[in-house]
């Protein structure tokens, strides 16, 4: 009767600056979700307190480890023209990297090596991914339309074994 979601990283907070509130972002995942017909899955999000400007992004992937998919995570907040999660070192040879940001400006596109899955409108927040085939140091980045506050997170998932 539904899928169980687990907090992967966050909440990561970028405190408010002059003239506005702060940014907060968290990434959740559900492993081995229940199957449904095309376009029949729904996700319900409930906030513990009212969210002023919620920006929910939902991605679905297959081919991940069904019992222990989460590898490593990173998160950072800053104020510049590029959002950057900070580096992680993966422990699995085949990983899916998923990055997401929340920004005061607009995300101009994905980071190097990543594919943009969506940039929300009107908020300009990205969800991006990349498949890697060796352990190593990785980070999620995304250029912004100009300098401003941001939060960027990276979650890495183990691919299913052969």
Whether the Cβ atoms of residue 156 and residue 73 lie closer than 8 Å to each other: yes
**Gyration radius (Cα) of the chain, Å:** 16
Among candidate residues 9, 150, 162, the one with its CA nearest the CA of residue 72: 9
Cis peptide bond prior to 11, omega within 30° of 0:
yes
Query: Do residues 157 and 64 make contact, with C-beta atoms less than 8 angstroms apart?
Result: yes
Band (43; pLDDT cuts 50, 70, 90)? confident
What tokens were used for 90? 């993966």
Q: Where residue 37 falls among pLDDT bands split at 50, 70, 90? A: confident
Confidence of residue 22 (pLDDT cuts 50, 70, 90): confident
Residue pair 62/141 in contact by the 8 Å Cβ criterion: no
97-152 confidence digits (pLDDT tens): 999 999 999 999 999 999 999 999 999 999 999 999 999 999 999 999 999 999 99
First-to-last C-alpha distance (Å) of the chain = 29
CA torsion angle for 110, 115, 120, 123 (degrees, to 10)?
-10
The closest of 61, 71, 68 to 137, measured between CA atoms, is 71
Global confidence as pTM = 0.93
Token pair for 155: 């979650």
Residues 106, 126: Cα–Cα separation, whole Å = 9
């Amino acid at each position: 009767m539904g899928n169980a979601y687990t907090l992967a990283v966050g909440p990561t907070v970028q405190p408010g600056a002059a003239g506005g509130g702060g940014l907060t972002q968290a990434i959740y995942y559900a492993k081995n979700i229940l199957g449904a017909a095309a376009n029949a899955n729904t996700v319900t999000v409930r906030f513990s307190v009212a969210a002023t400007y919620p920006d929910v992004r939902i991605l679905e992937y297959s081919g991940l480890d069904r019992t222990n998919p989460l590898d490593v995570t990173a998160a950072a907040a800053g104020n510049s023209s590029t959002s950057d999660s900070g580096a992680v070192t993966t422990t699995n040879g085949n990983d899916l990297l998923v990055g997401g940001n929340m920004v005061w400006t607009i995300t101009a596109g994905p980071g190097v090596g990543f594919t943009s899955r969506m940039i929300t409108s009107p908020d300009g927040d990205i969800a991006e991914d990349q498949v890697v085939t060796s352990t190593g140091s990785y980070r999620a980045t995304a250029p912004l339309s100009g300098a401003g506050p941001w939060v960027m997170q990276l979650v890495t998932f183990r691919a299913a074994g052969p």
